[in-house]
Amino acid sequence: MDVLFHNVRELVERAEQEEKLISEIMIEQEILITGRTREDVIQQMDRNLTVMEEAVERGLQGVQSVTGLTGGDAVLLQNYIAQGHSLSGDLLLDAVSKAVATNEVNAAMGTICATPTAGSAGVVPGTLFAVKNKLNPTREQMIRYLFTSGAFGFVVANNASISGAAGGCQAEVGSAAGMAAAAIVEMAGGSPQQCAEAFAITLKNMLGLVCDPVAGLVEVPCVKRNAMGAANSLVAADMALAGVSSRIPCDEVIGAMYRIGQSMSPNLKETARGGLAATPTGKAISKAILENGGLQSIKAMQ
């Protein structure tokens, strides 16, 4: 199958040569591959955007997962921001809270849009709805944000992996954070090359991240990793917009991520046999949830 780009280098080159946005190249490729109309493709992304918006709103009202392991932290963060004394800055914390909101809804078996997966679904919408308050984008620009994210995710999915079971959490939340960073740069008016730099800087700093979910559930540490993924992407986007570049080119960072994932022990790839899942508390939580009828038994022990 003929595609417009196989890697980030080709993606950026094409955007530069044709003087188009990364998002535009992604839209054109989608039309080319699927044979659908432009209107149809844009409309589907518009619907995905609406799902994301509803998930953020629902999470900010407070949700609780079935197990009781996660929920309510997005509300705590919003209350803290409202007090006006945040150290890391309101926009960054707003992105963090909205990423958490989405993942709390996900853990509660609510409706979300995977970006690129469900476990990493918070970063892209979290950053988008925070940056929105600063940049005041049009609806079309918000939809473009998702196409730009998708373009980078497309490269990772086809050249490395976006699955925690195959590549560790670096492949899930690491990819999501890189995707968000690139999209923030485009929305803020940066160049296609700066989008690639932002992606590379973000993913470099999430390399080696293991997938070690307690009890195998998409809750601990997934929700907080989305929070930090969102923070990572905002900082990397600012660095790229400031003119900082990655010494290791974006495609090589993606290649490194793939090989790290390959050499990672299966214990650290979503099996819940290593990392945080294998800590005494992780194991106790797992036992309580999977065998002894819920978290109440742990609370009773304490």
Q: Is 218 exposed, middle or buried (0-12, 13-18, 19+ CB in 10 A)?
A: buried
Cβ atoms of residues 178 and 274 within 8 Å: no
Binding to another protein in span 209-268, by CB under 8 A: 213, 215-219, 266
Nearest to 155 by CA among 268, 250, 264: 250
Q: Which part of the chain contacts another protein (CB under 8 A), choosing from 80-88, 130-138, 154-162, 193-201?
A: 154-162
The least distance separating another protein from the CB of residue 37, rounded to whole angstroms, comes to 14
Which phi and psi angles does 140 have, rounded to 5°? -65, -40
Q: What is the DSSP-derived secondary structure letter of residue 174?
A: I
| Residue carrying the six token digits 């968000």 | 180
Cβ atoms of residues 209 and 174 within 8 Å: yes
Q: Tell me the two tokens of residue 211.
A: 């997938």
Assess 12 for contact with another protein (CB under 8 A).
no
Q: Which part of the chain contacts another protein (CB under 8 A), choosing from 128-136, 160-168, 233-241, 246-254?
A: 160-168
Cβ atoms of residues 123 and 169 within 8 Å: no
The least distance separating another protein from the CB of residue 264, rounded to whole angstroms, comes to 12
Measured CA to CA, the distance from residue 80 to residue 30 in angstroms comes to: 41
Assess 206 for contact with another protein (CB under 8 A).
no
Interacting residue with another protein among 74, 99, 100, 108 (CB under 8 A): 108
Assess 101 for contact with another protein (CB under 8 A).
no
Total interface residues for another protein by CB under 8 A: 63
Assess 157 for contact with another protein (CB under 8 A).
yes
Nearer to another protein, 27 or 93 (CB): 27
Residue 66 identity? V
Q: Please state the length of the chain.
A: 302
Assess 270 for contact with another protein (CB under 8 A).
yes
Interacting residue with another protein among 11, 45, 77, 187 (CB under 8 A): 45
**Which residues fall within 8 angstroms of residue 38, CB to CB, at 6 or more apart?**
27, 31
Assess 158 for contact with another protein (CB under 8 A).
yes
Nearer to another protein, 167 or 190 (CB): 167
Binding to another protein in span 70-99, by CB under 8 A: none
Nearest to 41 by CA among 31, 49, 51, 32: 31
Q: Tell me the two tokens of residue 261.
A: 């994932």
The least distance separating another protein from the CB of residue 116, rounded to whole angstroms, comes to 5
Interacting residue with another protein among 24, 30, 186, 212 (CB under 8 A): 30
Q: Residues interacting with another protein, by CB under 8 A?
A: 1, 3, 26, 29-30, 33-34, 41, 44-45, 47-48, 51, 65, 67, 105-119, 121, 124, 146-147, 149-151, 153-154, 157-158, 161-166, 171, 179, 213, 215-219, 266, 269-273, 289-290
